[in-house]
Amino acid sequence: MKRVLTALVLLPLFMAAVVAPSPLYFEAMAMAAAVFCAAELERVAAATGVKPFPFLGSLWAFGFLASAAWPEAVPLNAVGAAGFLSLLAFGLWGPVDMPGVLASSGLATLTAGYTGFLLGYLISVRKLGDPEGIRLIFLLALVVWAGDSAAYYVGSRWGKHKLAPRVSPKKTWEGAVANVAGGLLGAAVARWTFFPGLAWPHVVALGCLLSVVGQLGDAFESVLKRGAGVKDSGAILPGHGGFLDRVDSIVFNGPVLFYYYQVFMR
């Protein structure tokens, strides 16, 4: 019940931010989610004994998102350079003891890239314009949601062959195949409803591609959590865990969708 109620609250907020006349609302939502995700990733890392550099990962991630939103005012190269210069300062004069500097530096870099640079591509997709950017964001959400739902239903009822027991013991090959099938159905529903200009070859390609990459993204977060002995990245979303648990299937799909559109759909 908590899971359903949380979804009923978040879904209208997500839809309103996506369809808002100005992309600023979606950008603000992405930035807020990134800050939460960065904090959760640092929490997971802390369970392994890694001490984060205070605020560095979150601020660096925020910089990458600001660059995606305002590329002329906040150049991407400047964000990267500022982040690495900050690593220099934190490594030499920060609060982390010398034996932990390497791990803390790696955590800050992963946090910035994972929750900032990659999530920033969702902003880039939304900025492709109206209605194209809006349609692509909803397409991505529908494919991932339909795939996850199909995987959960089929895997829990008929799943027998373990997909990656060391990473996620409950995931099965049957569920993985159902995820792709659900993603294909989600892409087809998008074409039949709000994306009539989406050619069928793109329906098939994006349905499969986004489903597979989404599952890999989910598996990557599972590796991080299982390695740290953590069940959920956080507890801020009742019934869902943390923000990172909700966007792990989307994070890597941002650049995939953006470059697929640039290469094959423009």
pLDDT at res. 113: 97
Same domain, 88 and 166: no
Q: What is the mean pLDDT of residues 123-142?
A: 95
Same domain, 140 and 16: yes
pLDDT for 211 beyond 90: yes
Same domain, 207 and 188: yes
Same domain, 76 and 155: no
pLDDT for 182 beyond 90: yes
Cβ within 8 Å of residue 113, ≥6 positions away: 64
Same domain, 157 and 108: no
Rounded to 10°, the helix 132-158/200-228 angle is 60
Give the predicted TM-score (pTM) of the model: 0.93
Domain encompassing residue 169: 1-21+130-266
pLDDT at res. 124: 97
Same domain, 32 and 58: yes
Same domain, 209 and 145: yes
Question: Looking at 109, 126, 143, which one is the last position of a domain?
Answer: 126
Average pLDDT for the chain = 91
Q: What is the mean pLDDT of residues 99-127?
A: 96
Same domain, 93 and 159: no
Q: Is 32 or 9 the better-scoring residue by pLDDT?
A: 32
pLDDT for 239 beyond 90: no
Same domain, 212 and 232: yes
Same domain, 198 and 242: yes
Distances in Å between the Cα of 13 and the Cα atoms of 57, 140, 208, 210, 227 are 26, 17, 27, 23, 33
CA–CA separation, 15 vs 10, rounded Å?
9
pLDDT at res. 185: 98
- Count of structural domains, the chain: 2
Question: Looking at 81, 110, 126, which one is the last position of a domain?
Answer: 126
Give the H/E segment covering residue 95. Answer: none
Same domain, 134 and 261: yes
Residue-wise DSSP of 145-204: HHHHHHHHHHHHHH--SEEETTTEEEEEHHHHHHHHHHHHHHHHHHHHTT-TT--HHHHH
Same domain, 138 and 225: yes
User: What are 30-74's pLDDT values in tens digits?
Assistant: 999 998 899 999 999 999 999 999 999 999 999 999 999 999 999
Question: Looking at 104, 126, 148, which one is the last position of a domain?
Answer: 126
Q: Is 161 or 123 the better-scoring residue by pLDDT?
A: 123
Q: What is the mean pLDDT of residues 80-102?
A: 96
pLDDT for 9 beyond 90: no
What whole-number percentage of the chain has pLDDT above 90? 76
CA neighbor of 122 nearest in space, from 196, 55, 27: 27
Are the C-beta atoms of residues 183 and 215 closer than 8 Å to each other? no
